[in-house]
Structure 1
Amino acid sequence: MSTTPRKPWPYPLRRAMQALPLIVVIAVSNFFWLRLAPGDLADVIAGEAGAATPEYMAELRRQFGTDQPLAIQFAAYLKRLAHFDLGWSFRYNESVVHLILERLPATALLLVSALVIALVIGCAAGTLAAVSRWRALDVAVSVISTLGFATPLFWLGLMLMVLFSAHLHWLPSGGMTTLGAATHGWAYIGDVATHMAMPVFCLAAYYLAIYARLMRASVLEVAGLDFVRTARAKGVSRFRTVLSHVVPNALLPIVTMSALQFGTLLSGSVAIETVFSWPGLGQLALDAVSSRDLNLLLGILFVSSLLVLAVNLLADLAYGWFDPRIEVER
């Protein structure tokens, strides 16, 4: 009796299923790690009020659910996650999902813009540096990338603010839009673009330096492989060889690095959003930490973890596009 073999699930779906245990581990770890921090939202409210009676503190903890045993709180947390419910922010008196969805577009705009700029300019600079090895352009790229790698993001942001906002008055010092300006269409897009110029450049500078150095080393390594020498021996021009053979293969380490560093990029946005008063998830997370709003902080950490896992999945799928020899459908 012959049996027809079952068709395997698509690769993206299999990877998503493999990530489910990791998501559970992340959710459990975040819950218990945050419970190790001293204080809660009731302590913050009492401190802001100046004083509070023990009865008032007990009533606050009863409303917030922090008076229950840790096991019961953990069971309630897992039940909410099973129903895709991230809980309620007692600090903002709003749903955590609503707060995250309200701030997520601003953070996504900042991160995507910075990542695209860092990848495009960094890869182009690294390729040019490798092609002109040990020449003036290579030295210039190496010096600038070293400075970008060593400069603290918050210091660079403050210096940009002092130069372009305080002295030159070219760019706004903070926020996402001009307060009180009822702009629409292209005027609104231009207003947002001027506000995001400094934070995007500041966030992209560090990663641009990393990608430039990595791309230079990767191009030099690929340029010495046999298939590149074969292409040159067949009469293919140097420009076409670099563009068609060297660069696509040299981009594989860049894809890996960008996926691994997306979490670092997301955490770096906290400092940038704080310096430039950018209304994104980073500033919301900082407010949640200072106010001990654990439900909101747990929701932000959980959503951030999902974003990092999604970016790593996209990086795996991108391997097959850059190098057809890699089979992602096996």
Structure 2
Amino acid sequence: MATVVLLVIVGSIVLVRFAPGYLSDAREMDARYAEGARNELATEAARSGSVGGMLWSEVRGLLRRDLGVSRQYEVPVVELVRPCLAVTVGLLLKSMMLAWIIAGCTATISNWGRSPVSLPGRLCHLTSTVLLAVPIGAMATMCLLADSGGPLLVLTTLLAARDFKFLDRMLRKAWNDPHLLHARAQGVSTPELIRVHLLPGIMPQLGSLATLSILTALGAMVPVEVIFSTPGIGQLAWNAAMNRDLPVLLAVTVMMAIAVTASGFGTGSRPATEWQTA
């Protein structure tokens, strides 16, 4: 994780530093500034724009635990990140909880007859495929134009459609395992069959699916928050990128890298790899 975070820091600094217009300053276009003052601004920007100097400045901000000072707002980055992080985490948890409920119910309906050609299964798979084919930005834009729904609806729909594919395949395989077939043949009741035989066998896959849900939600967070003007981490990252605010952009990128890397630790097992590949 430390190696990934270090690569993220260096890579982000290099990309932002050599992005077109990073060293420009709006005051240079103001006629009220004399030619000498504009030259001093350009010299200062060039001097502070070296990759080594920028790297040291950001590392020093991390060591001070204030994550540096925002170039756009001129306040410590941590003061900008805290309220936005609370909004994003709340939205993420709510959407994941609702998505798992919807995906679990639809996967149960799809597997009710334990046949891949059943009508409920076909309808659930068709709906999931159509929803996954719609880009997340287009889905958010349609909700905005229709004045119906919001970021919670869009994220829940995306996660539910994706999680249903994995849950349906997982349940279909579990119902056909030999020990479950034997238990059903012995007349074990359905609640006991689920509690004793089904759930213990799929718990590792459910944990891996939870990490994949987090990664999916993080990837969709930026367009959803920007389109709906939600004051979260995604919108903060977008504003930082548009205004070349390297300290804020770097802080958000490092947090995303840590979240993705930590989630990846949970998908290292063989069943998780199978579900991710599928």
Pick the TM interval, shorter chain: 0.7 to 0.9
Distance 1:50 1:22 in 2: 45
- Deviation (angstroms), 1:249: 2.8
Distance 1:253 1:112 in 2: 19
- 1:100: which partner in 2? 81
Distance 2:178 2:72 in 1: 62
- 2:21: which partner in 1? 39
- Deviation (angstroms), 1:67: 2.8
Distance 2:261 2:30 in 1: 41
**With structure 2 as the length reference, what TM-score do the two structures score?**
0.82
Distance 1:265 1:306 in 2: 15
Matched, 1:291 2:243: yes
Matched, 1:125 2:93: no
Distance 2:127 2:203 in 1: 21
Correspondence 1:186-265 to 2 at 5 A = 198-265=150-217
> Aligned residue pairs: how many?
266
Report the CA distance shift for 1:93/1:119 in structure 2 as closer, same or farther (over 3 A): same
Per-residue CA deviation, residues 264-289 of structure 1 (Å, 9 max, x unaligned), is 42231111111111111111111111
The match for 2:231 among 243, 267, 279 is 279
Mark the runs of 5 or more structure 2 residues left unpaired by the alignment: 270-278
- Deviation (angstroms), 1:74: 1.8
Report the CA distance shift for 1:92/1:114 in structure 2 as closer, same or farther (over 3 A): same
Correspondence 1:13-24 to 2 at 5 A = 19-24=1-6
The match for 1:147 among 109, 130, 151 is 130
Distance 1:47 1:260 in 2: 47
Identity %: 22
- Deviation (angstroms), 1:49: 5.1
Matched, 1:90 2:71: yes
Work out whether residues 28 and 41 of structure 2, in 8 Å CA contact, stay in contact via their aligned partners in 1: no
Matched letter for residue 169 of structure 2 = A
Matched letter for residue 108 of structure 2 = T
CA-based RMSD of the aligned residues comes to: 2.9
Report the CA distance shift for 1:302/1:84 in structure 2 as closer, same or farther (over 3 A): same
- Deviation (angstroms), 1:61: 6.5
- Deviation (angstroms), 1:121: 1.3
**With structure 1 as the length reference, what TM-score do the two structures score?**
0.70
Report the CA distance shift for 1:24/1:139 in structure 2 as closer, same or farther (over 3 A): same
Matched letter for residue 120 of structure 2 = L
Work out whether residues 267 and 282 of structure 1, in 8 Å CA contact, stay in contact via their aligned partners in 2: no
Matched, 1:81 2:75: no
Work out whether residues 271 and 282 of structure 1, in 8 Å CA contact, stay in contact via their aligned partners in 2: yes
- 1:175: which partner in 2? none
Report the CA distance shift for 1:241/1:70 in structure 2 as closer, same or farther (over 3 A): same
Pick which of 297-306 and 46-55 moved more.
Answer: 46-55
Q: Secondary structure at the match of 2:229?
A: coil
Distance 1:257 1:51 in 2: 58
- Deviation (angstroms), 1:255: 2.8
Report the CA distance shift for 1:66/1:153 in structure 2 as closer, same or farther (over 3 A): farther
Work out whether residues 60 and 68 of structure 2, in 8 Å CA contact, stay in contact via their aligned partners in 1: no
Work out whether residues 89 and 296 of structure 1, in 8 Å CA contact, stay in contact via their aligned partners in 2: yes
- Deviation (angstroms), 1:44: 5.3
- Deviation (angstroms), 1:88: 0.4
- Deviation (angstroms), 1:113: 1.1
Mark the runs of 5 or more structure 1 residues left unpaired by the alignment: 1-18, 166-170, 172-196, 320-330
- 2:259: which partner in 1? 307
- 1:109: which partner in 2? 90
- 2:275: which partner in 1? none
Distance 1:26 1:69 in 2: 17
Matched letter for residue 36 of structure 1 = F
Matched letter for residue 32 of structure 1 = V
Matched letter for residue 5 of structure 2 = I
